């Protein structure tokens, strides 16, 4: 069953199945019934994270340091928990800006910097080569091992073979062909690949089932369950060490923590992860399900890693079998051919899934951010004048895929033999982690500049290359080993593996620490020292504040162009037929019959720009649209300058508008303040003249009676007594008036002292009633109270007493002696307590009801009736109630009595302290 032809045939049958799935998914997508618009498929597509590294390499890692393979999977688990905050933001931005790749994303954030996009592409491509070589190595090794069945022999090192005899070379070739077939069949404006995602999700299922199958077989059929395996291992001192893998030093924990962080970053910044998680997602809400479904997937695929590793170490105690192949060699050793083949297919699944998505993502980046910007700038090619560029774009991408996979193959030849699978992969993880400062900084810090990102990325990349790539080459005898042992030019401090003397860490942790220090340091420092161009600032704001955006961002392009010119432009990149289709659909949406009738307004320009952005990246799209809208041959620098200036002007005018609005509102505020000051001044004058007038009335009486007494010493006793009584009464009125004026002045100036306590208003009412009962009796007025138990209020007891006394004495004043009746009611509901004093006196007409609470306003005609009070009582009452947070009012009808009431808020339990303070 395990002859070479059969293995190859099975592999091709499996790949054929993948194509069928992709073809079906693409057809469903065209029909508008997407199979990938589903949170489960999204979670499975994220599992492209689990590659041959996971499938073969985890066991290898576990065989040397126990649970050390786990941080790589725990990191993404933790990251997805905060994914709703971070990833959703990236998805939202990618949608708004039609981002097609990580390079596009970074370039777009920093003002469509073409240089930055190119740098990101270079770092990504160079950084991923080891990772691709890992997949090639895993597939070719597993194929060769399987071919030797029933013997178990490790393949010879690749460097000892001719390229043409090397299995890995053919694996690379076929992988490149698959990727081309999957990703570059057609040019899609949105740069999304539904078929590819569906196939990858299916592959995730296959590799999971294959791994669990072999895990169950080894654990429960080869051995008698995990207990059996571990108890046998405990008998071997060399294996016992793996059970408590951290040893004594703290270095193990630091390395664990760094690996966790590293894998969190890699989970987002690996080009293929960015592709499936951010670009291919159909609905950002799928992130929620993925936050637990994806971790569950990786937990399941890791569950049997340790049992398999121990099972392998026990089965092949003499060594000679690479632990990276245990998954395959154990079923082979048990002569289970079917399972061995299934495992090989599972591993092939894991590797092809990774290579396909990774190379498609990288080739898009290479095409849009590296090759096209250069080609468009080189005049000799006259690309800006060519009719149809869509096939050129596809060819560039195909070439890029082949180049990347072959790059991975040559890396494998050069450095692949010296390392286990996991160590190779970690080199790539550390490379893509360099994107973190520029991207995460760019998402949350508006101050990050293009220069800062360029410097930080370059610094991080250089340190990464020096501390991880050079040692990898040196270990493969490609570079002199002296470099590692003595440092360059014999300078010990510059030893790549112990930079600046930092020793005692594993290579990945060491490289991460130094590259992150240089990367973050340079990014922050250069950003803070420099400044942003206007266009850059606009993008920074768009990215950081994306959740405050509504709708599409306005294009900064103000120009206009003819619809046919724009269509021709789009057609050059997407193909004339596709362009005609898109523009016809746009015209239909606009309710226009023919494309030529479309207005070449900025909406249309924006539309064309977005279509192009999906294909050639935002930066190039803008430049291309600019050529048409300007109707002149391409002068990139000029166009860029125009765009920059225009956006700068817009930014200035926007700021001017803001300033003007601020000034206008300030002027309005000042005018209003002035008005109210004038009004207050007038009120003060009125008040003084009224007070003087009111004071003069009692003074005049006192003076008149005193003069009578003075001038007529022979007045009889009774008459003299009556005049003296009047003098005393008028003096009392004068005193009361002065007291009340002072009281009111104190209240108004805010100088009055307030005590704040929780009060039961029933007590206050009862006290007020008993204090005035004599008055009521004297006038023959009945006083009744109807007090319902009600919540406590917060207030000043004396002041509330003053209010109640005032209301009660007013009530008795206006009642007819003998038949008068006054009722005091107290009731509370939910948040307020209401107190009312109702009388059956003369009542107050509607027009007077509005003014009685004002100062010196009394009911009754001042010419005919002698005032019965000072005219300040109610004004004071209203101020007191207002100060306590309540309000006061009156309901009345002439001849039927009046009801004065006030309403106070209930004391909230928590407010007590605040009121005291």
Partner 1 sequence: MDKPITRAHRIASLFLLGLFLFNYPMLALFNVSHTVLGVPVMYAYLFAAWALVIALAAAIIEGRG
Binding site residues, partner 1, CB under 8 A:
66-67, 70-71, 74, 77-78, 81-82, 84-85, 225-228, 230-231, 234, 240, 243-246, 250, 253, 256-257, 260, 288-289, 291-292, 295-296, 299, 303, 306
d(CA 455, CA 889): 71
Cβ 143 to partner 1 shortest distance, Å: 31
Nearest to 616 by CA among 364, 794, 284: 364
Smallest gap from Cβ 909 to partner 1, in A, equals 11
> Is the bond preceding 150 in cis, omega lying within 30 degrees of 0?
yes
What SS3 state is found at 870?
A: coil
**171, 138 contact by CB (below 8 A):** no
Tokens coding 726:
């009047």
- Least distance in angstroms from the C-beta of 224 to partner 1: 10
- CB of residue 240 to partner 1, shortest distance in Å: 6
Q: Pick between residue 309 and residue 450 the one whose CB is nearest to partner 1.
A: 309
Mark out the alpha helices in 187-302 (DSSP H runs): 194-216, 226-234, 237-243, 251-269, 271-274, 286-302
DSSP per residue, 592-636: -SSGGGS---HHHHHHHHHHHHHHH-HHHHHHHHHHHHHTS---H
- Give CA separation, 806 vs 416, 455, 584, 694, 794, in Å: 98, 79, 82, 19, 20
**Cα dihedral value 381, 385, 390, 392, nearest 10:** -10
Q: Which is nearer to partner 1, 288 or 834 (CB)?
A: 288
Distances (CA, A) of 614 to 304, 395, 580, 618: 42, 17, 17, 7
Choice between 6 and 292, CB closer to partner 1: 292
Minimal distance, residue 290 CB to partner 1, in Å: 10
Contact 815, 839 (CB under 8 A): yes
State the nearest-atom distance from the C-beta of 78 to partner 1, in Å.
5
Alpha helices in 631-760 (DSSP H): 636-711, 717-749
What is d(CA 185, CA 190) in angstroms, rounded to the nearest whole number?
14
As measured in angstroms, the least distance from the Cβ of 286 to partner 1 is 12
Beta carbon nearer to partner 1, 433 or 876: 433
Q: Which is nearer to partner 1, 260 or 539 (CB)?
A: 260
CA-based nearest residue to 432, from 522, 374, 370, 361: 361
Contact 236, 93 (CB under 8 A): no
Residue 84 or 478 having the CB closest to partner 1:
84
Instruction: Tell me whether residue 245 or residue 860 sits nearer to partner 1 (CB atom).
Output: 245
- Residue 160 structure tokens: 């000892």
| Shortest distance in whole angstroms from residue 791 CB to partner 1 | 18
Give whichever of 172 and 512 is closer to partner 1, judged by the CB atom. Answer: 512
User: Nearer to partner 1 by C-beta: 223 or 518?
Assistant: 223
Partners of 887 in the beta sheet? 903
Q: Judged by CB, which is closer to partner 1: 240, or 798?
A: 240
Residue nearer to partner 1 on the CB measure, 250 or 517: 250
Closest to 51 measured CA to CA, from 358, 312, 311: 358
Nearer of residues 92 and 720 to partner 1, judged by Cβ: 92
For 624, what's the count of Cα atoms within 13 Å in the CB-facing half-sphere?
34
Residue 826, φ and ψ in degrees, nearest 5: -135, 125
In the complex, minimum distance from the CB of residue 225 to partner 1, in angstroms, rounded to a whole number: 7
Which value, to the nearest 10 degrees, does the dihedral of the CA atoms of residues 125, 131, 134, 136 take?
A: -40
Alpha-helical runs (H) found in 753-814: 761-779, 797-813
Of 324, 284, 320, the closest CA to residue 308 belongs to: 324
CB of 513 within 8 A of CB of 433? no
Contact (CB, 8 A) for 811 and 837: yes
Please, what is the minimum distance in Å from the beta carbon of residue 243 to partner 1?
Answer: 4
Nearer to partner 1, 713 or 910 (CB): 910
Minimum distance of partner 1 from residue 294's CB (angstroms): 9
Q: CA torsion sign, 667 to 668 to 674 to 678?
A: positive
Please count the other Cβ atoms lying within 10 Å of the Cβ belonging to residue 377.
16
Closest approach, Cβ 547 to partner 1, in A, equals 13
Rounded to the nearest whole angstrom, what is the least distance from the CB of residue 857 to partner 1 in the complex? 43
Rounded least distance, CB 349 to partner 1, Å: 24
In the bound state with partner 1, the residue whose beta carbon lies nearer, of 105 and 256, is 256
Question: Which residues, listed in sequence order, are joined to residue 758 by a DSSP beta bridge?
Answer: 794
Tokens of residue 262, six digits: 């590293």
Q: How far apart are CA 17 and CA 836, in angstroms?
A: 86
Alpha helices in 491-574 (DSSP H): 507-529, 534-544, 563-574
Q: Please check whether residue 534 is in contact with residue 458, taking contact to mean a CB–CB distance below 8 angstroms.
A: no
257 versus 788: smaller Cβ distance to partner 1: 257
Q: How far is the CB of 81 from partner 1 (least distance, A)?
A: 4
Q: How far is the CB of 61 from partner 1 (least distance, A)?
A: 14
Angle in degrees, 0-180, between the axes of helices 83-97 and 251-269, rounded to the nearest 10: 30
Nearer to partner 1, 246 or 754 (CB): 246
CB of 71 or CB of 841, closer to partner 1: 71
How many angstroms separate the most distant Cα atoms in the chain? 151
CA-atom Rg of the chain in angstroms? 44
- 302 or 325: whose CB is closer to partner 1? 302
Shortest Å distance, C-beta 88 to partner 1: 11
d(CA 416, CA 418): 6
Is residue 834 within 8 Å of 828, Cβ to Cβ? Answer: yes
In the complex, the smallest distance separating the C-beta of residue 253 from partner 1, rounded to whole angstroms, is 4
């Amino acid at each position: 069953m395990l002859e070479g032809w059969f293995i190859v045939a099975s592999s091709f049958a499996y790949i054929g199945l993948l194509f069928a799935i992709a073809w079906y998914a693409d057809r469903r997508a065209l029909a508008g019934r997407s199979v990938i618009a589903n949170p489960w498929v999204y979670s499975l597509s994220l599992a492209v994270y689990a590659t041959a590294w996971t499938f073969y390499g985890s066991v290898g890692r576990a065989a040397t340091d126990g649970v050390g393979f786990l941080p790589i999977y725990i990191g993404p688990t933790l990251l997805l928990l905060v994914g709703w905050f971070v990833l959703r933001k990236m998805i939202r931005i990618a949608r708004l800006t039609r981002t097609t790749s990580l390079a596009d994303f970074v370039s777009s954030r920093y003002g469509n910097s073409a240089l930055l996009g190119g740098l990101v592409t270079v770092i990504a491509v160079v950084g991923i080569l080891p990772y691709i070589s890992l997949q090639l190595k895993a597939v070719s090794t597993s194929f060769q091992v399987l071919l030797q069945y029933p013997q178990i022999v490790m393949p010879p090192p690749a460097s000892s073979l001719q390229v043409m005899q090397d299995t890995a070379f053919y694996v690379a070739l076929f992988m490149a062909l698959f990727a081309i077939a999957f990703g570059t069949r057609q040019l899609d404006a949105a740069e999304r690949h539904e078929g590819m995602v569906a196939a990858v999700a299916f592959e995730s299922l296959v590799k999971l089932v294959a791994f669990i199958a072999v895990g169950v077989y080894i654990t429960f059929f080869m051995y008698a369950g995990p207990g059996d395996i571990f108890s046998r291992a405990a008998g071997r001192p060399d294996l016992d060490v793996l059970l408590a893998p951290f040893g004594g030093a703290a270095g193990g924990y630091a390395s664990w923590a760094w690996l966790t962080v590293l894998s969190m970053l890699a989970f987002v910044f690996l080009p293929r992860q960015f592709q499936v998680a951010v670009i291919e997602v159909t609905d950002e809400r799928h992130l929620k399900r993925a936050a637990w479904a994806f971790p569950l997937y990786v937990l399941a695929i890791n569950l049997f890693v340790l049992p398999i590793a121990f099972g392998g170490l026990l089965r092949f105690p003499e060594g000679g079998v690479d632990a990276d192949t245990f998954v395959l060699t154990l079923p082979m050793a048990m002569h289970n051919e079917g399972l061995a083949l299934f495992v090989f297919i599972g591993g092939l699944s894991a590797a092809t899934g990774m290579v396909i998505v990774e190379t498609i993502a990288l080739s898009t980046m290479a095409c849009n951010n590296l090759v096209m910007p250069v080609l468009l700038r080189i005049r000799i090619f006259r690309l800006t004048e060519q009719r149809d560029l869509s096939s050129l774009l596809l060819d560039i991408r195909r070439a890029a895929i082949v180049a990347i996979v072959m790059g991975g193959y040559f890396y494998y030849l050069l450095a692949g033999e010296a390392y286990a699978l996991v160590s190779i992969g970690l080199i790539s993880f550390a490379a893509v982690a360099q994107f973190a400062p520029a991207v995460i900084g760019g998402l949350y810090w508006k101050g990050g500049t293009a220069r800062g990102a360029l410097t930080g990325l370059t610094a991080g990349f250089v340190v990464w290359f020096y501390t991880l790539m050079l040692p990898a080459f040196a270990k493969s005898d490609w570079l002199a080993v002296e470099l590692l042992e003595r440092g360059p030019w014999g300078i010990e401090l510059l030893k790549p593996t112990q930079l600046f003397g930092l020793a005692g860490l594993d290579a990945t942790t060491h490289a991460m620490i130094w590259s992150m220090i240089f990367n973050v340091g340079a990014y922050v420092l250069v950003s803070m020292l420099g400044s942003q161009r206007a266009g850059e600032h606009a993008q920074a704001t768009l990215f950081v504040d994306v959740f405050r955006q509504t709708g599409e961002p306005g294009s900064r392009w103000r120009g206009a162009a003819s619809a046919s010119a724009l269509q021709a432009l789009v057609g050059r990149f997407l193909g004339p037929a596709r362009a005609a289709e898109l523009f016809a659909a746009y015209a239909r949406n606009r309710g226009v019959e023919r494309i030529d009738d479309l207005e070449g307004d900025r909406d249309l320009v924006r539309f064309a720009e977005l279509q192009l952005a999906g294909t050639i990246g935002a930066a190039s799209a803008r430049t291309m649209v600019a050529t048409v809208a300007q109707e002149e041959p391409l002068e990139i620098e000029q166009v860029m300058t125009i765009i920059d200036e225009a956006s700068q002007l817009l930014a200035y005018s926007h700021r001017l508008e803001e300033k003007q609005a601020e000034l206008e509102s300030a002027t309005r505020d000042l005018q209003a303040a002035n008005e109210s000051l004038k009004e207050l001044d007038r009120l003060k004058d009125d008040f003084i003249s009224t007070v003087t007038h009111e004071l003069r009335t009692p003074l005049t009486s006192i003076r008149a009676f005193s003069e009578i007494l003075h001038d007529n010493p022979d007045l009889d006793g009774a008459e003299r007594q009556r005049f003296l009584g009047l003098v005393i009464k008028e003096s009392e009125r004068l005193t009361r008036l002065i007291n009340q004026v002072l009281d009111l002045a104190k209240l108004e100036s805010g100088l009055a002292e307030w005590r704040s306590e929780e009060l039961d208003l029933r007590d206050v009412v009862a006290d007020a009633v008993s204090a005035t009962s004599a008055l009521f009796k004297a006038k023959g007025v009945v006083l009744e109270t109807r007090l319902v138990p009600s919540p406590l209020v917060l207030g000043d007891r004396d002041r509330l007493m003053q209010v109640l006394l005032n209301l009660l004495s007013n009530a008795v004043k206006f009642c007819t002696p003998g038949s008068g009746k006054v009722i005091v009611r107290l009731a509370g509901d939910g948040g307020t307590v209401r107190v009312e004093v109702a009388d059956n006196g003369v009542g107050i007409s509607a027009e007077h009801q509005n003014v009685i609470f004002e100062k010196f306003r009394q009911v009754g005609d001042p010419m005919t009736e002698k005032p019965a009070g000072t005219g300040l009582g109610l004004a004071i009452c209203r101020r007191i109630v207002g100060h306590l947070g309540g309000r006061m009012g009156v309901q009345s009808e002439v001849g039927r009595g009046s009801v004065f009431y006030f309403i106070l808020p209930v004391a909230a339990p928590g407010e007590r302290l605040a009121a005291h303070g």
